[in-house]
Chain A
Amino acid sequence: EVQLVESGGGLVQPGGSLRLSCTTSGFTFSDDWMSWVRQAPGKGLEWVANIRQDGSEKFYVDSVKGRFTISRDNAKNSLYLQMNSLRAEDTATYYCARDGDSGSYLNSWGQGTLVTVSS
């Protein structure tokens, strides 16, 4: 069974940093692109970033470029999102998701971790 479990969310002050983790099991992690998607409270879905299987390519939505960094550790079957210079508008549930094998549709999702940016 495919499982993705996010952790690392919490309350952080504006300008602060947080590192999210996603631990995976049930599939060959190193075979797949992986993504982070976020959802502000009561709002829709926003793709944040994705990363190639070997970490050699990374893409970001403009609103997080220069502040967030996606990374992975294939030996640990884990995905990460380092978030710096956090803003109130980054408040959201952050989901880890597995990209499809032939395109960036997202075929497996974690339950999400809530990040709240507030003073």
Chain B
Amino acid sequence: DIVMTQSPDSLAVSLGGRATINCKSSQTVLYSSNNKNYLAWYQQKPGQPPKLLITWASTRESGVPDRFSGSGSGTDFTLTLSSLQAEDVAVYYCQQYYTTPITFGQGTRLEIK
């Protein structure tokens, strides 16, 4: 199974500040035949289901604010939130869909400092 490890487990950022969440996979999720990274990011607010933010490591879903950005390739990925807003308080998860079983990172809790 591919193990997804996020860091940090939690972080606190000032309003308007920048948050960086890292995700590392135990093996590559880059499919060589199409040069795509099978990596997604989700946001989960309390009492709500997860919401898909980013696919293919860096493609924002429709309606996701451009302050959310994804980067990385192979085994190392980053979700960056620039200019943090109050509504961004949530737990963020990375997920690999390169192979089954599909696996998620343990989550990173983002709070306002």
Contact = CB atoms under 8 A, between A and B. Distances in A.
Q: Please report whether the interface of chain B is mostly helix, strand, loop or mixed according to DSSP.
A: loop
Interface string B28-72: 000000000010101010001111100110000100000000000
Interface of A: 35, 44-47, 50, 59-62, 95, 100, 103-107, 109-112
A44 B105 CA distance: 8
Interface stretch (B12-20, B73-81, B82-90, B94-102): B94-102
Contact of B95 (A50, A59, A105): A105
B93 to A, nearest CB: 6
A84 B105 CA distance: 27
Contacts of B38: 103
A59 B101 contact: yes
Contact of B101 (A47, A95, A103): A47
A107 B102 contact: no
B101 A61 contact: yes
A45 B101 contact: no
A47 B40 CA distance: 14
Contacts of A103: 38, 55-56, 97
